[in-house]
Every structure is written in C-alpha cells, then in structure tokens.
Amino acid sequence: MTAWLMYLGKDPKRVGGGYDDNSATHYSWDSRVPNATGVQVGDRIVLWDGETSLGLSVIETIETGTGTKDLSSCPKCGKADIAPRKTMTPTYRCWTRECKAEFDRPAVETVDVITYRARYEAGWLDLQGHLTAPELRALCEEKKSQNALRRLRWDEFRARVESGRNATPLSVIDRAEDVIAGGHAKTVVRVRKGQPAFRAALLNTFGEVCAFTGTMPATVLEAAHLYSYAKKSVHHASGGLLLRRDVHRLFDLGEIAIDPHTLTLDVAVTTRAYPVYDQLHGRPLTVPVDAGHRKWLAKHWDMHRGGPAAIPAQSSGRLDPVTA
C-alpha cells in the first residue's frame, strides 16, 4: 500500500478547481492532477494545508464520476504556470522562464475530466500542527515536487509521528487497514437506505444517550450498527446503539469493544494512551440492552478481541447495564 501527502489548502488552482473537500471525511481531485490514477483504496493519506499537517487516515472508498474543468494558461506561450498577483498590474504573470508575459486575463479552455473522491472518515486521526511544511516535504519521495498528490515515505513518516514532540501512536491506522482489507467497514461513511429511520428508532428507545459516555445532544449521536451493515444490509431492531461520533469510529475499528458478559467497555491499550478514552476503560454501558444486543456484541468481541466471550443464559427481556 502506498502513502500519499495530499494538499488541501488555499492555492488558487485548488480553490478555483471547484473541489468539494472536508479534511476529516473526504478529499477530491480529477484526472488532470498528476498521480490521479495512482491513489487506491487502502492507501494511507496525510493531509496538509501548505504550512502544517492536518491529519491522516486510510482510504475506505474512491468514488469516480465525470465533469468538466476550466484550464487557465498564458495567452502568449500556452503554459499553465501562471498565478494572480494581489497588488501589481497586470493581474497575472507567466512564470515560465522563457516567457514572463504579463496580462489581465488568462486563456481559458474547458475540458472533460474524470472526478475522484476518496472517503476515509472511519480512521481519521487529527494531526493539526504536528509536522511543519519543511518536515513534510523532506518525507516525500520527491522532496522538490509541487504536485498536490505526492508519494510519502511511510516508515520514516510514522517514526517521526510516533516519537519526538507530540508523539502520537498510529495503531488506529493499523486497525483501519485491517478492517478495510477484511471488507468489514467499507461503507462506514456511505449513506445507508433506512438509516434515518433506524436512528430515529434508537432515539425513541434510548433517548439522547450515548451508550458509552452518557447523555449527549442528539446532534452528536450517530446510529451505530453492532454488526457489519455491509454484509447484512438490514437494520436489526436489537442491532444498534447510539454513540458519540468519535467513539463510534473507535467501535467500528475495534479500538473499543464491549465484553458481552459484563457489559463493560474494553479500550485497546494503544487507545488508552489518550486520557479521554482511558477513563472509559472498564466502565459499564449507560443504557440497558437485551439478548439480541448481546448476540451482536459477542460477535463484535470475537472479531476484534480474538476469541469468544462466555455469555450466560439470558431471558428475552432488557438487561440492566450495571447489574447484568
């Protein structure tokens, strides 16, 4: 799998390109961008804004489509190496060494393109400010590249992030790779048929309560499936809980699991390095669950903790989260 440094900043070519981006969920480009076809599902990506790192993740899906793009160029030499100037006139200058023409309006050609959108929300790890622009450029395979998509030397990047100042473990990325390779979470951010109704049913059952962290505003609560929706494609009545967005991601990746016998949270050791998640380890669920929930929680536990947990016989009624 390849690692990429992807530019998401305010460069005129990026802003003027009409790209629809959200740093924590998806990134867009088109077939006119160098390395456009090299990016694949399962690749690691690091986003930056031209000055500092923003975060990293693993690509879950890549959506393709068609569209058009306006290409601006120098009206004299036809090269695209032009940029607007903030204070000088004429507004534009061609930076091609052999040309250096100045002009107010570039030549514009509309061309057909293939569009790409990579989605990677489940494994997103915020690294805002962790690495500077010079540090990131030095970790690229081609240090002087100006491309928006640049190949990154992953082993060196990882060593830098996991040591030194602001050391951050990347175990979440490893888990995301395993899940995507196994086909379990490729639809984590896809809009699912019936999802709004499923969430509404969970709100009606549990109220505005995150099953891991307690009472929360409804706006931050997501309907979390306790099984792989990609495989089942059905919303089971006892197959979901309401979870705050961040712990939902960690649950999907197996960084947080529920012991189906004790109904307590089991947080992976590497994730416990973060105090906000360490304090969740060993805590009971904040909502009651029934035998159906326990069945799905047992399967999730088996998948992510490497073995089945013993589950005592249960009645079909709902179970108290603390005493069950």
- The pLDDT assigned to 134 comes to 95
Under a CB-based contact definition with an 8 Å cutoff, are residues 42 and 181 in contact?
Answer: yes
Say what the pTM is. Answer: 0.58
Q: CB atoms < 10 A from the CB of 293, how many?
A: 25
Distance CA 195, CA 222 (A): 10
- Give tens-digit pLDDT for 109-167: 999 999 999 988 767 788 888 899 999 999 999 988 889 999 999 999 999 998 876 78
Under a CB-based contact definition with an 8 Å cutoff, are residues 102 and 158 in contact?
Answer: no
Under a CB-based contact definition with an 8 Å cutoff, are residues 59 and 45 in contact?
Answer: yes
- Give tens-digit pLDDT for 171-216: 777 777 776 665 443 333 333 333 567 788 888 889 999 999 999 9
Write the DSSP symbol of residue 112.
E
- The pLDDT assigned to 13 comes to 61
Sheet architecture: strand order including 61-73: 26-30, 107-119, 61-73
Distance CA 71, CA 258 (A): 53
Write the DSSP symbol of residue 272.
G
How does strand 44-48 pair with strand 3-7?
A: parallel
Mean pLDDT, rounded, of the chain:
81
Under a CB-based contact definition with an 8 Å cutoff, are residues 72 and 80 in contact?
Answer: yes
Structure tokens at 10: 């305010």
Q: Which tops the pLDDT comparison, 131 or 320? A: 131
User: What are the phi and psi torsion angles at 198 (to 5°)?
Assistant: -60, -45
- The pLDDT assigned to 237 comes to 59
- Give tens-digit pLDDT for 220-267: 888 887 754 333 344 455 778 999 988 988 888 889 999 988 999 999
Encode 260-280: b = buried (16+ Cβ within 10 Å), e = exposed: beebbbbbbeebeeeeebeeb
Q: Which residues pair with 196 in a beta bridge?
A: none
